Amino acid sequence: MNRFSYLNNLPVKQKLLLVIMATTLMGLVLASAAFLGYDRYQVKKNMAQDISALGRLIADRSAAALVFDDPRLAEKNLASLRVKSAIVAACIYGEDGAIFASYTADNISTEKFPAVSNTLGHAFTSNSLTLFEPVELEGKRIGTVYVRASLKELDTLWQQYLAAAGLTIFLTSLAVFFLSSRLQRIISEPLIHLTQTSQRISQQNDYSLRAIKEGEDELGLLVEAFNGMLETIEVQNKNLETTVATRTSELTAANIKLKELDTLKSMFIASMSHELRTPLNSIIGFTGMTLQGLSGELNDEQKDNLSRAYQSAKHLLSLITDVIDISKIEAGRIDTYPETVFLETVVSEAIIAIEPQLKEKHLSLDIEVPDGLQLNTDKKRLLQCLINLLSNGVKFTEEGGIRLTVTERDEAVAIAVADTGIGIAENDLPKLFEAFERLDTHLRVKVGGTGLGLYLTKKITTDLLRGEVSVQSKAGQGSIFTLTVPRDLQKLTET
Ligand code: ADP
């Protein structure tokens, strides 16, 4: 991880400025520190040399004073140290180590002279420089000169140097800041321009925009690569648009062709089915008449065979009728005939149609229709849907019964047909309204059917009655099919 990751969110401008300023400041501080350190070392060295030379001089001059025991001469010698303002005190020790003569810069003898040291030469303490210099005569040490110089002047000088260095660093930093805030633009401006261009591209989705190249450096190369990528995207987009346009027009053409074919198919089925219905009706008519004994007595076997033929013909007729209806609706060749009817009347007619099967299976019937409720709808089609739902209810119920309830909504009426039959498994519900879909249940073979009833009911409800059909069911717990139709179909077809 980047050690300076906390700086990641700073704008490039400020990062550059920070780098320049930090580097410059560090350089200035290090250079000043080195310079000041070296200077202090030199000044101290010179001072030590000066004081040592003076000490040596006093020692040479004071040999006679010591030999002749003349402290006044020694003090006079010491007094010549006054020329060096840094020297604050000095003394001469006799051979026995006692102070022979002394000197203080301000003549007030507050100085505490140290005991004579055997370590000769100079030494620095925190605030002064001390020197012990031997007084020798013919190679024999007859005394010692002690000199103490204050470092005060040195410290004052040092403080002035520090202040000057501080000021120099401050002024240089200001100048560097001023200069670098201008110079950083060389790097930051192309980057900012590149960022702004990419933002505009993503906001406006306009890949024709280009970044402007300022030079031939790495930033220039970056701009070039960026523009190159834009070029590629633009070309690809154009190709894609052309392909999409071509495909769309191909699809539209294919779609139109398919629709034409579909209409043709529906028209074909409708007219073929019509041709089939005529002979079928005559088969049903004649077998019905024969079954009733109008053409003479039939024996049991003949009756049984004929009634099978009669039932099959009726089944075929209902299948053909359904197919014709579906084809006509799909081809848009079916008209609606809205009329105002009492819902009770439509429901009663539907009940009459399913009553024989209801009685045969000993199922109960419960009806709840508000009195005098009128609807403007296509009566024939509504009746067809109701009969489909009711007869399914009867077909798929072994025990219990059917319950039909009507609920009034704002602009619509909901007719629910509930049964206590076998119900429908949850995963079968989505395919329930598809054509020729018959669910795999134990009643499948027994009750027969085409798998077109619900498909047709849905088509009629949505396409002709402008309503909808829904189902609620659970396997083994009965089903509720709900038809919701508008109160006023006429009004809806006019708008
Ligand atoms: P058909 O009744 O001719 O088979 P439908 O389209 O009317 O065709 O119904 C399709 C299938 O939906 C039926 O075969 C049956 O499996 C299921 N189904 C329809 N109504 C009910 C119902 N009330 N209870 C249980 N299953 C039903």
Q: What is the pLDDT of residue 444?
A: 67
Which residues, other chains included, contact 7 with Cβ-Cβ below 8 Å and sequence gap of 6+? 15, 18
**Ligand 1 atom closest to the CA of 441, numbered from 1:** 16
CB distance 479 to ligand 1 below 6 Å: yes
Torsion, Cα of 353, 356, 361, 367 (10° steps): 50
Cα–Cα distance measured from residue 271 to residue 277, given in angstroms and rounded to the nearest whole number: 10
- The answer on pLDDT for 151 being more than 60 is yes
CB distance 439 to ligand 1 below 6 Å: yes
pLDDT single digits (tens) 17-62: 999 999 999 999 999 999 999 998 999 999 999 999 999 999 999 9
The pTM assigned to this predicted structure is 0.52
Pairing of strands 339-342, 374-377: antiparallel
CB distance 417 to ligand 1 below 6 Å: no
Q: Span 268-280, mean pLDDT? A: 80
Of 126-130, 262-266, 334-338, which range is least confident?
262-266
Of 396 and 265, the one with more pLDDT: 396
Comparing CA positions, the residue from 227, 226, 215, 212 lying closest to residue 186 is 215
Atom 18 of ligand 1 has which residue's CA nearest to it? 392
- The answer on pLDDT for 272 being more than 80 is no
Buried b (16+ CB within 10 A) or exposed e, 364-380: ebeeebeeeeebbbbbe
Of 158 and 342, the one with more pLDDT: 342
Atom 23 of ligand 1 has which residue's CA nearest to it? 393
Contact 478, 420 (CB under 8 A): yes
CB distance 482 to ligand 1 below 6 Å: no
User: In the predicted model, what is the mean pLDDT of the chain?
Assistant: 90
pLDDT band for position 110 (cuts 50, 70, 90): low
Q: What is the pLDDT of residue 139?
A: 87
pLDDT single digits (tens) 305-330: 999 999 889 888 888 888 888 877 87
pLDDT single digits (tens) 433-461: 998 778 777 776 666 677 889 999 999 99
- The answer on pLDDT for 288 being more than 70 is yes
pLDDT band for position 391 (cuts 50, 70, 90): very high
Place of tokens 């439509």: 346
Q: What is the pLDDT of residue 106?
A: 78
What the block records as the tokens of 445 is 């073979």
The residue whose CB lies within 8 Å of the most ligand 1 atoms, and thus the one to mutate among 316, 391, 454, is 454
Atom 11 of ligand 1 has which residue's CA nearest to it? 438
Distance of CA 347 from the midpoint of ligand 1 (Å): 20
CB distance 129 to ligand 1 below 6 Å: no
CB distance 451 to ligand 1 below 6 Å: yes
**Ligand 1 atom closest to the CA of 393, numbered from 1:** 23
Cα–Cα distance measured from residue 383 to residue 142, given in angstroms and rounded to the nearest whole number: 148
Other Cβ atoms closer than 10 A to 227: 17
Contact 149, 128 (CB under 8 A): yes
| DSSP for 133-167, written as a single string | EEEEETTEEEEEEEEEEESHHHHHHHHHHHHHHHH
Of 116 and 26, the one with more pLDDT: 26
Cβ burial of 49 (10 Å; 0-12, 13-18, 19+) is exposed
pLDDT band for position 109 (cuts 50, 70, 90): low
- The answer on pLDDT for 81 being more than 60 is yes
**Ligand 1 atom closest to the CA of 452, numbered from 1:** 6
Which residues, other chains included, contact 125 with Cβ-Cβ below 8 Å and sequence gap of 6+? none
Pairing of strands 364-368, 401-408: parallel
The residue whose CB lies within 8 Å of the most ligand 1 atoms, and thus the one to mutate among 316, 384, 395, is 395
CB distance 450 to ligand 1 below 6 Å: yes
Q: What is the pLDDT of residue 365?
A: 95
| DSSP for 416-436, written as a single string | EEEE-S----GGGGGGTTSTT
Long-range CB pairs of 174-183 (<8 Å, 24+ gap) are 176/20, 176/21, 176/24, 177/17, 177/21, 180/16, 180/17, 180/20, 180/21, 180/24, 181/17, 183/20
pLDDT band for position 388 (cuts 50, 70, 90): very high
- The answer on pLDDT for 482 being more than 90 is yes
Q: 3-state SS of 439-480?
A: CCCCCHHHHCCCCCHHHHHHHHHHHHCCCEEEEEECCCCCEE
pLDDT single digits (tens) 209-249: 899 988 889 889 999 999 999 999 999 999 999 999 999 99
Cα–Cα distance measured from residue 264 to residue 417, given in angstroms and rounded to the nearest whole number: 36
Atom 20 of ligand 1 has which residue's CA nearest to it? 392
Of the chain, the percentage scoring pLDDT greater than 90 comes to 65
Helical H segments across 184-217, by residue range: 185-204
Q: What is the pLDDT of residue 223?
A: 92
